[in-house]
Amino acid sequence: MFRFPQRGYCFCIGDVIIMVRVELKEATKYYGERRGVEDINLSINDGEYLAVLGPTGSGKTTTMYLIAGLLSPSKGSILFDDEDISNVPAEDRSVGFVFEEYNLFPRMTVESNILFGPTVKDLNLIESRKISRELLALLNISGKEPNYPDEISGGQKQRVALARAIVSDARILVMDDPLRALDAKIREILQVELRKLVKDLGITCIHATHDTQEAMRVADRIAVFKDGMIVQIGTPEEVYNHPNSLYVAEFLGEGSTIEGKIDDIKEEKYLVLQDGSRINVETDLQKDEEAIALIPGELIDVYPISMKKKLNYHNIFEAVLLDVRCVGEFNELDLEIFGSRFKAKDLIGKEIPLKKKSKVLVATDKDDYRIFPKKEGKMINKKKSDRIINSNTQVGIDGSSVKKVKKK
């Protein structure tokens, strides 16, 4: 395989940027009988930040290892810029890998840790040291070069691990839940820093996480995994607003679910609940089909009971407000509607003149509900599913229809 000379970074004006398109074609990995991943088709564009999202055991780490070359696929292939590298060893793939554990050498200083790769690869050390300094400055840890790992904090260690992964020729950055071991606050800060770094350097990045918010914060696109397969892939907005299954909807957005039967009167569709309540919804499901509706908390609007005549919504129900909690950027409201517990979210900043245990009005529009047939859990909403198909073809295997953005 062609080896790139040590590359310049995009913040070094005049140098060429080398970015890589990563493709997985029907990549499958079995550990003996057990499935790691199956039939993964994925195309990650040059300079794109992709988040791989799923619960523990959904195949995230396997996918990361396949791309980095720490595992080889049982079937299928992995391509970098159309070249099959399935059998190229990890050290020749120019992939920088960041693990959940920092894996720094405890007896080496920060700088020697970072320069370890360039040293064993026999790269120009003067140049590498310069890049290392620039990376540390970008990561807000300038001046820590002479320190040892046990003298710096967890967040700083992971920043060093990141610099080390990038400094030696990495064209692709693969990160397996890199922030999991860190405190929530430092995680928030590093999410923003990570995205900024990847975008500034223009490298291709794949980041596995089980945290939906993290995936949304860092990534251009999100691939949602379940049981070793990709169930949906798209921009954060697509997967969040137009989930293609109940699984994706529940994993991405905190919401409440209700079950019922579809009924129609004239053009309008209704979800009829067991107690006879009717909710106006938008769906392509037919009359009498059993359905599950999910409504994200932030789409539920709550008003005092006196407002009844002033509201203009498709659905207005009376509910009991069980609890109001201020949880940071929004208030969480526990409501009892139709005998079950619903959670609404309201951005703070607004006054809520509502009292606990009081009766309130819950207002929703018909397109706020995501309706899935009870059996399959698949999205049946024509307009929305069309959009999903479009987004899938846009990012399809050949990657050709994808608009390429290269930085100067």
Partner 1 sequence: MSEIRFQHVTKIFGKSVEAVKDLSFIINDGEYISLIGPSGCGKTTTLRLLAGTILPTEGEILFDDQPMQNVRIQDRNIGFVFQHFAIFPHMTVSENIAYGPTVRGRSKREIEPLVEKALKSVQMSNKANLYPDSLSAPDWQKTALARVLASEARILLLDEPLGALDQKIREEFQLFLRDLVKREKLTAIHVTHDQAEALTISDRVAVLNKGRLIQLGTPSDLIYNPNHLFASFFVGESDFLEGVIIDDSAENAEVRIGQSLIKVNNMGVEKGKRVAVAVRREFFQVEPITTKGLTNSLPGEVIEDKFLGLLRRIRIKLENQQIIEAKIHAKHPVQFKENEKVIINIDPSVTRCFDFPKEGIVSALEM
Contact status: 345 vs partner 1 (CB under 8 A): yes
Least distance in angstroms from the C-beta of 214 to partner 1: 9
Contact status: 356 vs partner 1 (CB under 8 A): no
Q: Which C-beta is closer to partner 1: that of 229 or that of 324?
A: 324
Q: Kindly tell me which residue out of 276, 328, 339, 353 binds partner 1, with binding defined by CB under 8 A.
A: 328
Q: Kindly tell me which residue out of 236, 243, 373, 399 binds partner 1, with binding defined by CB under 8 A.
A: 236
* β-strand partners of 294: 257, 370
Candidates 119-127, 230-238, 356-364, 385-393 — which segment interacts with partner 1 by CB under 8 A? 230-238
The long-range contacts involving 353-357, CB below 8 angstroms and separated by at least 24 positions, are 353/304, 354/302, 354/304, 354/321, 354/324, 355/321, 356/321, 356/322, 356/323, 356/324, 357/320, 357/321, 357/322
Locate tokens 């003149």: which residue? 353
Contact status: 14 vs partner 1 (CB under 8 A): no
Q: Which C-beta is closer to partner 1: that of 133 or that of 217?
A: 217
Please give the structure tokens belonging to residue 148.
Answer: 């040892």
Alpha carbon distance 112, 132 (integer Å)? 10
Alpha carbon distance 222, 215 (integer Å)? 7
Q: Kindly tell me which residue out of 12, 305, 307, 326 binds partner 1, with binding defined by CB under 8 A.
A: 326
Taking only Cα atoms into account, the Rg of the chain, rounded to an integer number of angstroms, comes to 25
Concatenate the DSSP letters of all residues of 301-319 into one string. Answer: EEEEGGGGGG---SEEEEE
- Do residues 254 and 211 lie in contact, with contact meaning Cβ atoms separated by under 8 Å? no
Candidates 61-69, 107-115, 310-318, 319-327 — which segment interacts with partner 1 by CB under 8 A? 319-327
Q: Which C-beta is closer to partner 1: that of 126 or that of 327?
A: 327
Contact status: 56 vs partner 1 (CB under 8 A): yes
Least distance in angstroms from the C-beta of 347 to partner 1: 6
Q: Kindly tell me which residue out of 120, 348, 389, 405 binds partner 1, with binding defined by CB under 8 A.
A: 348
Contact status: 365 vs partner 1 (CB under 8 A): no
Q: Kindly tell me which residue out of 349, 351, 357, 401 binds partner 1, with binding defined by CB under 8 A.
A: 349
Contact status: 211 vs partner 1 (CB under 8 A): yes
* Torsion angle, alpha carbons of 383, 384, 390, 394, to 10: 160
* Torsion angle, alpha carbons of 316, 317, 318, 322, to 10: -110
Amino acid type, 351:
E
Chain residues binding partner 1 by CB under 8 A are: 55-56, 140, 153-154, 183-186, 188-189, 192, 210-213, 216-217, 235-237, 240, 251-254, 296-298, 325-330, 332, 334, 345, 347-349
